[in-house]
Amino acid sequence: MKLLVVNGPNLNLLGVREPGIYGDQSYAALVKLIEDTCAAEGVEVDVFQSNHEGALVDRIQQAMGDADGIVINPAAYTHTSVAILDALKAVRIPAVEVHISDVSKREDFRQISYARLACVKTIMGQGLDGYRQAILFLKSYIENMDK
Ligand code: DQA
């Protein structure tokens, strides 16, 4: 099994950006958490981050025929990007949406998620551990799909 983890804009600045909201762990620490979780589960993983909407769309498209599942934190594009929603729908790969913060308790403009409409689950407000939870959920979701 192979997963793709996609992170959107400003997540490369984890640890520096608004630590009161996103914590003090770096993006490198997040990548290590993802890679360690996948290694422990016997799952292959590619981790991708971009600040550019089109690059995120391109990477989702490239997952076709390659990845069995996608974990995605579209970051600010969550709330604006129909293009990312359409890409997730187009590739028809099961996807889980992750947000480090609890967006449901934040500003009104964060209450819309386009990506969510193409995701089988959303995990929010769990800090970086949300990615670990998403990987575990997606692995078992994919295994059960095959039955
Ligand atoms: C975020 C929440 C978004 O609203 C915000 O724009 C982000 C990060 C999160 O992980 O909590 O960049 O997706």
pLDDT of residue 71: 99
Q: Which atom of ligand 1 is nearest to the CA of 9?
A: 12
Is the CB of 139 within 6 Å of ligand 1? no
User: What is the whole-number distance in angstroms between the Cα of residue 42 and the centre of ligand 1?
Assistant: 29
Nearest CA, atom 7, ligand 1: 75
pLDDT score of 17: 97
pLDDT for 66 = 97
Assess whether the C-beta atom of 99 lies below 6 angstroms from ligand 1: yes
Statement: the pTM of the whole predicted model exceeds 0.75: yes
Q: Using alpha carbons only, give the angle 108, 109, 110 rounded to the nearest 5 degrees.
A: 90
User: CA nearest 103: which of 133, 67, 73, 81?
Assistant: 73
pLDDT of 48: 98
Residue found by looking up tokens 């949300």 in the block: 130
Residue 137 and residue 16: Cα distance in Å, rounded?
29
Residue nearest to atom 2 of ligand 1 (CA): 75
Q: How much is the pLDDT for 101? A: 98
Q: Is the CB of 23 under 6 A from ligand 1?
A: no
| Series of mean pLDDT values for 10-residue runs along the chain (147 residues) | 98 97 98 98 98 98 98 98 98 98 98 98 98 98 89
Atom of ligand 1 lying closest to residue 11 CA: 12
Q: Which residues are catalytic?
A: 22, 99
